[in-house]
Amino acid sequence: MPDPDTQTTLCGLILAGGRARRLGGVEKGLADWQGRPLVATAVDALRPHCGALLISANRRLPDYRPWADRVVSDAPEFDDAGPLAGLLAGLRSAQGLGLAGVLVMPCDTPAVSAGIMGELAVAARQDPQRIVLARVSDRLHPLHGYYPAGLDAALQRYLEQGGRKVMGFAEAQQPRYLDLPIAPEVFRNLNAPEDWGPSGAD
């Protein structure tokens, strides 16, 4: 059952701004997954826990708009910064909305459920000024977690100094790790054609 207090403080952020080079440059979040756009699975996982929902995307923005309250794009100066650029755009939007921070996940982990993201949301509410990251079998998942909106300035500095590693930024902020008793393959990304089954990403 979603916590209404958590819903009013968190902003959901789906990262869909990647270029999907291993999939031939398709717009991965909009590719078909079991009869729906892949991004829909992330919407299902985040929407119950968040007061607002953002999608970070850099192409086909009108196609993403029906799935979120707002679509945000990378700042031009950080167009080579990977997912951290999308995270920065999300943090800035969360601040503008007066929300405590972003509950974030990529668009391409369809097995990550609302229940899993709900556990991260509960942990975020317990300490909203601290990063919370998912950990499964000692493996960290820095793009599945919670980031306080107030870290936007620190993240901008990190990017301006050439930082590009998500874990490098997160570890510098002394995050909390939430151990999840689930199978590691739940967090598998759909990065290559073989991950999508016989037909690949159409």
CA distance 85 to 59: 14
* pLDDT at site 79: 84
Using DSSP, state whether 135 is helix, strand or coil.
strand
What global pTM score does this model have? 0.91
Alpha helix (H) ranges present in 47-82?
Answer: 61-64
Domains observed in the chain: 4-192 (3.90.550.10)
As annotated, the binding site for Mg(2+) includes 108
Please report, in range form, the residues annotated as the binding site for GTP.
15-17, 28, 74, 108
pLDDT in tens, the chain (202 residues): 455 555 568 999 999 976 655 555 678 999 999 999 999 999 999 999 999 999 999 999 999 999 999 999 999 999 888 999 999 999 999 999 999 999 999 999 999 999 999 999 999 999 999 999 999 999 999 999 999 999 999 999 999 999 999 999 999 999 999 999 999 999 999 876 556 554 445 4
Left (φ > 0), alpha (ψ -120 to 50) or beta: where does 45 sit?
Answer: alpha
Binding site, residues? 15-17, 28, 74, 108
